[in-house]
Amino acid sequence: MGLKRFRGRRLIAALLYTGMGFPPVVIGLFVYLLLSRNGVLGSLNWSFLPKLFTPAAMVVAQTVIAFPLVAGFTMAAVMGVDPQLRQQLLSLGATPRQAAVTVLMEARLGVIVAIAAGFGGIISEVGAVMLVGGNIEGRTRVLTTAIVLETRKGNFELALALGGVLLLLTFLANLVMLRLQGKVFDE
């Protein structure tokens, strides 16, 4: 999308940007309705579709939440690369695919931001995973839903500790991503 100009590109961009601000809990609701046994997809009983209240169902919801974030930021980053670069790469003998990879590499600062944004969006997400996963202990309970539960039960110390773990994990993940940005970030 960042590389080519085509009909409907503007519309897709508008949809992506809308998706970036879409309340995750609503996406959770949609996925819930789709996957539930009486839902549109759930009633088809296809074996490759995940069942509700399973980790796989949570992955589906999280993917839908993260996709517009990652795609939107990546598109913006790629559009920031000089369009003439692609012509130069093709001239040097790049296949269209090689040229696209190189342009992505040139936009790596922004692409990593896109991944960080997607990661941040879903690691901190509560509503959708609660709805779709069901917060089942040992199966679909994640840090965020556990924090909600423990706070409700009045176990503030445990909730705080879990919050600390979540923060630490997020911090570490972002450190790794900053490393991936590499030398470009220091310039």
Sites of contact with other proteins (CB under 8 A): 82, 84-85, 87-88, 90-95, 98, 102, 105-106, 183-184, 187
Give rounded-to-5 percent helix, strand, coil for the chain.
75, 0, 25
Q: How far is the CB of 13 from other proteins (least distance, A)?
A: 24
Q: How far is the CB of 100 from other proteins (least distance, A)?
A: 13
Q: How far is the CB of 90 from other proteins (least distance, A)?
A: 6
Q: What does residue 47 show for φ and ψ, rounded to 5 degrees? A: -70, -25
Q: How far is the CB of 96 from other proteins (least distance, A)?
A: 10
- Report CA-CA distances (Å) from 104 to 22, 61, 71, 91, 110: 26, 26, 12, 18, 9
- Choose between 43 and 88: whose C-beta lies nearer to other proteins: 88
- Choose between 105 and 167: whose C-beta lies nearer to other proteins: 105
- Choose between 7 and 37: whose C-beta lies nearer to other proteins: 7
Amino acid making up residue 76: A
- Choose between 38 and 91: whose C-beta lies nearer to other proteins: 91
Asked if 77 and 2 touch (Cβ cutoff 8 Å), the reply is yes
Asked if 107 and 78 touch (Cβ cutoff 8 Å), the reply is yes
